[in-house]
Amino acid sequence: MNTVLGNILKRFQTEGVSSALRLMGARIGSLLRSAIEDRRRGVSTARELKDRALGITDLSNHWYVATDYQTFRRAMKHVDIRPGEDVFVDIGAGMGRMVLLAAELPFRKVLGVEFSRQLTDIGRENLRAALPGLACKDVELILADATQWPVPHDATVLFLFNPFDGEVLAKVCANIRQSLAEAPRKLTIVYVRSEKFFEKEIAWQEWLLRTHEIPCVEGRVAIYESKLLPGAVRNGRPGRAAKPEPAEIL
């Protein structure tokens, strides 16, 4: 809550009162949505934790904040899901909100990877409560450090809400890239709040192309598609790189 107030104050100082009020309205909307949508599913994805630091000592790994329900929906409008085929992975899944939302869509499989036991336990509780209402029943929350977790060859849509930066992000990007090299395929990455770290990390790697940018309450969502790695063949034919589309303006 302090961070939210701090951000509003900062906005007031840098951009003036109307911009600060807009941000405040967006935050209130997000809190209301969180309460209503959680209640509708019988889950709790924004609860206060006793150990707020989650035992994180390496600050390259970021703390838990759930993505706004609306942000996920807006972002997923730009992702072409192949029903019964695509596999969604939330890297840094927290209490599982994105995993539950993805499992309401026609994915073949939905996974979440989270390195905090406390959060994974809550996420699994949420999953048990929501399971009857999910379209996809093959859903799993995996307790693992993303740096040590090999990205499965069938993963086709990756979701990240600013889970880490620095060396940790570099290692996870290398894992994603290795998975693509071993199993060339169309891969979409939905990255919330990409402005600081992810862009820097992939800029020199040049293996992803940004296809969309959407403003959201967290800042912005960027959607990337994998370019085909040299020599790789997709579906028996050489693939083509994704074409960028103009940024969407709210």
Q: Does 176 bind ligand SAM (CB under 6 A)?
A: no
Q: Alpha-carbon distance 64 to 163, whole Å?
A: 8
**Shortest distance, CB of residue 91 to ligand SAM, whole angstroms?**
7
Residue given tokens 């026609």 in the structure block: 106
Q: Which stretch binds ligand SAM (CB under 6 A): 15-23, 162-170, 178-186, 220-228?
A: 162-170
89-110 exposure pattern, b = at least 16 Cβ within 10 A, e = fewer: bbbbbbbbbbbbbbbebebbbb
DSSP state of 2: H
Total residues in contact with ligand SAM, by rule CB under 6 A: 26
Q: Alpha-carbon distance 230 to 228, whole Å?
A: 6
Q: Do residues 56 and 126 touch, judged by C-beta distance below 8 A? A: no
Cβ-closest residue to ligand SAM? Answer: 92
Q: Which stretch binds ligand SAM (CB under 6 A): 26-34, 56-64, 198-206, 230-238?
A: 56-64
Q: Alpha-carbon distance 86 to 107, whole Å?
A: 5
| Cβ-based nearer residue to ligand SAM, 115 or 207 | 115
Q: Does 158 bind ligand SAM (CB under 6 A)?
A: no
Among 34, 61, 126, 226, binds ligand SAM (CB under 6 A): 61
**Shortest distance, CB of residue 230 to ligand SAM, whole angstroms?**
29
DSSP state of 234: B
Among 43, 110, 119, 202, binds ligand SAM (CB under 6 A): 119
| Encoded tokens for 126 | 């949420």
**Shortest distance, CB of residue 240 to ligand SAM, whole angstroms?**
30
**Shortest distance, CB of residue 186 to ligand SAM, whole angstroms?**
22
Q: Alpha-carbon distance 4 to 65, whole Å?
A: 11
Q: Do residues 218 and 67 touch, judged by C-beta distance below 8 A? A: yes
| Cβ-based nearer residue to ligand SAM, 20 or 221 | 221
Q: Does 102 bind ligand SAM (CB under 6 A)?
A: no
The distance of Cα 75 from the centroid of its chain, to the nearest Å, equals 10
Q: Do residues 112 and 89 touch, judged by C-beta distance below 8 A? A: yes
Q: Which residues bind ligand SAM (CB under 6 A)?
A: 54, 61-62, 64-67, 90, 92-94, 97-98, 113-116, 119, 145-147, 161-164, 168
